[in-house]
Amino acid sequence: MIKNDLYIKALKGETVERPPVWMMRQAGRFLPEFRAMRDEYDFFTRCRTPELAAEITMMPIRRYPLDAAILFSDILVVPQAMGIDFEMREGVGPWLETPIRTLEQVQEIEVPNVDDTLGYVFDAIELTLHKLDKQIPLIGFAGSPWTILCYCVEGKGSKAFDVAKKFCFENPEAVHLLLQKITDTTIAYLKRKIEKGVSAVQVFDSWGGMLSPYDYQEFSWPYINQIVEALSPLTHVVVFGKGCWFALEEMSLSKSSALGVDWTIRPEIARKLVGENMTLQGNFDPSRLYSSPETIKKMVTEMIDRFGKDRYIVNLGHGILPNIPLENAEAFIRAVVDWKPN
């Protein structure tokens, strides 16, 4: 039994004394101990070395009273496992020397044996669970098929992913084949994470909001829902679509245990769209962590009161930014831990 199971209770919709809290990218660049390790090992070395990944996962847990840990990794390990050779370039971010731009390229991509190609992630889970010692749950994650495709076609990060969208509209056959291969790989990958002991999985659709509501129904949601359908009998599945408030109502009809929301929607509207029986997660603007600790505490308290303490997981509306002061991150977390009903 996990000692602190607030996060699991929230996913189940059970009554809690206070909502649980964790932060997307909590094991990341804002921590000085993370930056010290970054200076010693490159990004994907940290991802591929189980001992390092487990240690990074634990960094925020040692600092703050968080209610869940999320395994340190990256969404691009999935396309790497498929033979799509991403690297992380300093000052650039994700980089693919030969982007996927033709049907022939897509046809050559294989759905891998995840044990052969992603075993280092599963080893990191085992090491992390040992370090956690059943104190709090561990979350596994993957990128949505659409978000992965954006990087594969664009070849790098983008503000609009217009090259990826152009490929979708000009080569729908290739796009749907690639999306399905990514989906099949992701399902196998997350199933193994569940077998290794994670308590829940989260699908990050970071670039879903780049699509119109119509195109989202063709190129993103059906593939996410395949993942939800495959995994929901096995564990809790959380779906986070940045900028995807327009799809919340349909998402709420799925077998997801929770839906993440960014900071561009009011809690009352999000709740109205998904109903009272769906757990919501979010939606504090990450930039608001530049506010004073006093302001952060006030805003977090108001956010909880507006979402309601039950069927709610306190989080940011996207990942924590790299230069957030440590005391401000702590103020965010402490505001939840110390929250009391009015």
CATH classification at residue 174 = 3.20.20.210
Residue 111 placed within a domain? yes
pLDDT tens digits for range 312-340: 999 999 999 999 999 999 999 999 999 99
**Residues 243, 208 contacting (CB under 8 angstroms):** yes
Q: Among candidates 206, 210, 216, which has minimal Cα distance to 251?
A: 216
CA distance 89 to 157: 11
Which structural domain range is residue 295 located in?
A: 6-337
How many degrees, rounded to 5, is the angle at CA 45 between CA 44 and CA 47? 60
312 classed as catalytic:
no
Any domain includes 202: yes
DSSP string, 61-91: HHHS--S-EE----TTHHHHHTT---EEETT
Structure tokens at 305: 């009161």
pLDDT tens-digit map of 270-296: 999 999 999 999 999 999 999 999 999
Classify residue 1: in a domain, yes or no. no
- Report the pLDDT value the prediction gives residue 121, as an integer from 0 to 100: 98
Reported as a pLDDT band with limits 50, 70 and 90, residue 174 is very high
DSSP 290: G
> Which pLDDT belongs to residue 293?
98
Determine if residue 64 is labeled as part of a ligand binding site: no
* 17 in a structural domain: yes
**Rounded average pLDDT over 158-181:** 97
206 is in an annotated binding site: yes
44 annotated ligand binder: yes
Q: Which of 18, 46, 48, 74 is catalytic?
A: 74
25 is in an annotated binding site: yes
Q: Which pLDDT score, from 0 to 100, does residue 334 have?
A: 98
Query: Could you confirm whether 25 is annotated as catalytic?
Result: yes
Tell me, rounded to whole angstroms, the distance of Cα 44 from its chain centroid.
Answer: 18
Distances (CA, A) of 88 to 25, 27, 50, 209: 17, 18, 18, 24
Give the mean pLDDT of the chain.
97
Is 80 annotated to bind a ligand? Reply is no
C-beta separation of 30 from 324 below 8 A? yes
pLDDT tens-place string over residues 1-26: 999 999 999 999 999 999 999 999 99
Q: How confident is the model at residue 267 (pLDDT cuts 50, 70, 90)?
A: very high
Residue 318 assigned ligand-binding role: yes
Percent of the chain with pLDDT over 70: 100
User: Choosing from 7, 64, 151, 216, which is the catalytic residue?
Assistant: 151
Q: pLDDT > 90: what percent of the chain?
A: 98
Q: Look at the chain and report how many structural domains it folds into.
A: 1
Distance CA 302, CA 308 (A): 10
Q: Which of 68, 51, 50 is CA-nearest to residue 60?
A: 68
Q: What is the mean pLDDT of residues 47-59?
A: 98
ω into residue 323 within 30 of 0, thus cis?
no
In a domain, 297, yes or no: yes
- Identity of residue 155: G
Say whether pLDDT at 90 is over 90: no
pLDDT for res 43? 95
Residue 342 lies in a domain: no
User: Phi/psi at 190 (nearest 5 deg)?
Assistant: -70, -30
Strand 200-205 relative to strand 69-70, pairing: unpaired
Residue 126 pLDDT grade (very low, low, confident, very high; cuts 50, 70, 90): very high
Question: 153 pLDDT exceeds 90?
Answer: yes
Q: Which residues of 208-241 are buried (b: 16+ CB within 10 A; e: fewer)?
A: bbbbeeeebebbbbbbbbbbbebbeeebbbbbbb
Q: Is residue 15 part of a domain?
A: yes
pTM to 2 decimal places: 0.97
Active-site annotation holder among 5, 7, 25, 192: 25
Residue 25 lies in a domain: yes
Task: Characterise 24 by phi-psi region: left (phi > 0), alpha (psi -120 to 50), beta (else).
Answer: beta
Token digits for 79? Answer: 């396309």
> Does the active-site annotation cover 74?
yes
**pLDDT computed for residue 342 by the predictor:** 81
Q: Is 189 annotated as a binding residue?
A: no
Average pLDDT of the residues in 126-144:
98
Residue 285 annotated to the active site = no
- Active-site residue 311, yes or no? no
Could you tell me whether strands 236-241 and 258-261 are parallel, antiparallel, or unpaired per DSSP bridges? parallel
Residue 269 banded pLDDT, cuts 50, 70, 90: very high
What is the mean predicted confidence (pLDDT) over 36-63? 97
pLDDT band for position 262 (cuts 50, 70, 90):
very high
Could you tell me where the DSSP H helices lie in the chain? 6-12, 32-38, 43-48, 50-63, 77-81, 103-108, 114-117, 119-132, 145-154, 162-170, 172-196, 213-219, 221-231, 248-251, 267-274, 293-307, 326-337
